[in-house]
A and B are shown apart, each in its own frame.
Chain A
Amino acid sequence: MTMSEDEPASPATASPDVLRELLLAVAGGDAEAFPRLYDSTSARVFGLVLRVLRDRAQSEEVTQEVYLEVFRQASGFDPSRGSALAWILTMAHRRAVDRVRASQSQSDRDVAYESRSTVELFDPTSETALDGIEARHVRGALSQLSDRQSEAIRLAYLDGLTQSQVAKHLDIPLGTAKTRIRDGLLALRRIMSAEYTRKEEG
Chain B
Amino acid sequence: MSETGASLRDHGHENLESLVAAYALDALDPSESAEVEAHLATCPECRELADSLRETTVDLSQGLESTPPAALRDRILEAVSADQDAHETPEEPRLPRRPRRRTVLAGGFALAASALVATGLVVARPWRSQEDKDIDEVLAADDAREYTTTWRSARITAVRSPSLGSAVLKVEDLPAVTAGKDYQAWSKMSDGPVSAGLLRPDDDGNARTLLSAGSAEGAAISLEPAGGSEQPTTVLVALDFS
Contact = CB atoms under 8 A, between A and B. Distances in A.
A43 B65 contact: yes
A29 B73 CA distance: 19
B21 interface: yes
A85 B66 contact: no
Given A91-B153, A140-B63, A185 B79 contact: no
A124 B241 CA distance: 46
Nearest to A70: B80
A168 interface: no
Interface of A: 1, 8, 10-11, 27, 29, 31, 34-35, 38-39, 42-48, 50-51, 60, 63-65, 67-69, 71-73, 75-76, 81-83, 85-86, 89-91, 93-95, 97-98, 101-102, 105-106, 108-109, 111-113, 116, 133, 136-137, 139-142, 153, 156-158, 160-164, 166, 178, 181-182, 185-186, 188-189, 192
Contacts of A137: 62-64
30 contacts: A10-B65, A35-B73, A35-B77, A42-B67, A42-B73, A46-B66, A51-B61, A51-B64, A63-B76, A64-B72, A64-B75, A68-B79, A72-B90, A72-B155, A73-B150, A82-B51, A82-B55, A86-B57, A111-B179, A113-B178, A136-B63, A141-B62, A157-B57, A163-B22, A163-B28, A181-B25, A185-B25, A188-B60, A189-B53, A189-B56
Nearest to B60: A157
Nearest to B204: A65
Given A75-B90, A188-B59, 9 more contacts: A44-B64, A85-B58, A86-B55, A94-B153, A116-B179, A142-B60, A158-B60, A162-B27, A185-B21
